[in-house]
Structure 1
């Protein structure tokens, strides 16, 4: 394939110039099979779990401020896990992108959208908790489900705006070895092509720092400061802490930090180091794995909801029981219906057969009677 590396940023030119052709069956090695299977497992678990959370919280839990927060988190996680099968296909096909430029941008945008929405929502939940504890009268007067719905709508809008640059600069980049990579193309839309190297470096660093600050550092700072304020206020009042919701939020936040920190650290290292730095290759290899760990956050959140909220766990069990009872009732009704139909058919056949035999017997009897009369007459004559 003829590819002009000069059309791409210096950091990407090495990727474009690669002539190493990964074996399409490389994924069939034990490690490859394990990695692909792990992604497939994450995908299935994440989709099923988040769908279950949405169904249970959406239809079987009384609508409240907390349930609205959880519904929005689960929606974001469902979007992320729904895109995992595409990444699994990418690995299974020898790490080459085969779904085109547009879907490359969409798939990557879902990843970044989930990253921003998760950070913004966790920060908003922490501020909400802080408001309830520090300003209970204000919370009583203004904290409503309608207001929370509006806040969630603003969060999704802001997250979509933050995702826009990553959508614009994501592209399907062809390589000389015939493969295609879904990666950054910061050389697009340059007003001064002669300054491509400077503009590429500026865009790489700007977007890496942008997503680090707005998707990780600022939300984490808001979360930590909010809960420090809550704990100080409760300690000063001598109030006993309500651990149920706090336990849920803390677990979700810890999962958020553990899952997303490696990705952000490696992203910043990638653009801050020289492309000839000895560890640059190691960072480039570790980034996809770090992105996978980021996806894992969307799989862990539903588990945390269940284990941190006994009421939610009970409702899920009841919902599953209700579903199973419905399925079994429908199967039993179908079995009874078919059995009744079969019995009716057999009864109809038996009645028809008896009627036929009865008619045949009557016919034979009627045919036999004239003959007897004739024989009787002959005897009289």
Structure 2
């Protein structure tokens, strides 16, 4: 556990002053209960966990087992896996948010942070890949039809995940644990960012902002600007749905991640580091919302996926009802046979 001279933020982005281990405020009240703002965030994160796990699990199930592999479905599957992994470990952060005490050890402190940023980078890179792929398909339809293959898409996804892992690795270096005292003089363990050379606070934050937001956002905007221009100039295309979907994708990306990066950039300034508190927690939660939006924006809005989903659900219901009916008929037949046998015995007697 760290005993250095750093002042930074814990996993739940509460200001930590490790240089002076004195009583400090935390996300729980003096009686050990979660404050109202903390309670609201806990409830929201629980909803994100439930909806994210269920929604992304459905996407993985439908795409992985029920649909024929295509390039687009390969993108969606990888995106769903990334979001599913993030949501799967979200309960650990929920417990920490509710209690203010990190009970999971140093290794898990590093790992959960790594998963958070792995999801952030992999999701954003996949959105960029999907944008570029759609742009190429619109601008060069013949070339795309001949050259786009599932194998090539899988190679691109492996490269995207490799880069995401490399960019997420610094989070495992800067994460650390320390012991502090709360307002009741009770010792608590905090999981926080312990920035030391060569991973300085500014370098880590700026690299995440540049690689995880600015550059991807500019690429996405450029791709969809080209797509919108081509669709608008194509008189054959009458439907406005593609434009609405594109606007939703860009809007969700912008709304979910911009507040997080703004708050994290503000952390660099010592003037704001002690006062951000709840704003950082809200921005992290808002970024997590992206993990439950992706299944709806990328999968459930597709007609093929929706039709396959409802057919699979109806088939499951029909099979369940069929099995119940079959079991009931067998039970009724068995009961009738027993009654008939008893009647015969009674007659003979």
Task: Give the secondary-structure state (helix, strand or coil) at the position aligned to 1:280.
Answer: coil
2:23 corresponds in structure 1 to 19
Structure 1 residues 99-143: Cα deviation after superposition (integer angstroms, max 9, x where no partner): 111112221111101100111111111111121222334323322
CA distance in 2, matches of 1:310, 1:4: 53
Unmatched 5+ stretches in structure 2: 10-14
For residue 4 of structure 1, report the CA deviation from its aligned partner. 7.1
Displacement after TM superposition at 1:159 (Å):
0.7
Please give the per-residue CA displacement for 1:192-242, whole angstroms capped at 9, x wherever unaligned: xxxxxxx48x61000100111111111101111112233344556656376
Contact 1:8 1:186 in 2 (8 A): no
**Which moved further from structure 2: 257-266 or 235-244?**
235-244
Distance, in Å, in 2 between the alignment partners of 1:4 and 1:168 is 12
Distance in 2 between residues matched to 1:91 and 1:336, nearest whole Å? 53
Structure 1 residue 345: Cα displacement: 4.8
Secondary structure in structure 2 of the residue aligned to 1:186: coil
State the Cα distance separating 1:31 from its structure 2 match: 5.0
- Structure 2 distance, partners of 1:334, 1:312, is 33
Structure 2 residue 216 is the aligned partner of structure 1 residue 216: no
Aligned to 1:183: 192
TM-score, normalised to structure 2's length?
A: 0.85
How many residues align? The count is 335
Distance apart, 1:157 and its partner CA: 1.2
C-alpha change, 1:101 and 1:249, in structure 2 (3 Å) is farther
Name which of 290, 307, 313 aligns with 1:314.
307
> Can you give the 5+ residue segments of structure 1 that lack an aligned partner in the other structure?
188-198, 359-381
The change in CA–CA distance for 1:250 and 1:64 in structure 2 (over 3 A counts) is: farther
Q: Who is 1:263 aligned against?
A: 260
Structure (1/2) with the larger helix percentage: 1
Once residues 269 and 263 of structure 1 are traced to their aligned partners in structure 2, the CA distance between those partners, rounded to angstroms, is 10
Q: Deviations over 1:23-42 (max 9, x none)?
A: 46422x65554432222122
Tell me: CA distance 1:55–1:213, structure 2 relative to 1, closer, same or farther (3 Å): same
Aligned residue for 2:12?
none
- The alignment status of 1:136 with 2:141, answered yes or no, reads yes
Distance 1:316 1:137 in 2: 30
2: CA distance between counterparts of 1:337 and 1:266?
64
What's the CA shift for 1:304?
2.3
- Which of 34, 37, 44 is residue 38 of structure 1 equivalent to? 44
Kindly state the Cα deviation for residue 341 of structure 1 after the two structures are TM-superposed: 4.1
- Over 3 Å counting, the alpha-carbon distance change for 1:242 and 1:116 in structure 2 is farther
1:144 Cα shift? 1.4
Residue of structure 1 equivalent to 2:82: 76
Q: 1:332 to 1:144 in 2, by over 3 A?
A: same
Shift in CA distance, 248/4, structure 1 to aligned 2, threshold 3 Å: closer
| Secondary structure of the structure 2 residue equivalent to 1:305 | helix
- What's the RMSD between the two structures over aligned residues? 2.7
**Is 1:120–2:125 an aligned residue pair?**
yes
Larger radius of gyration: 1
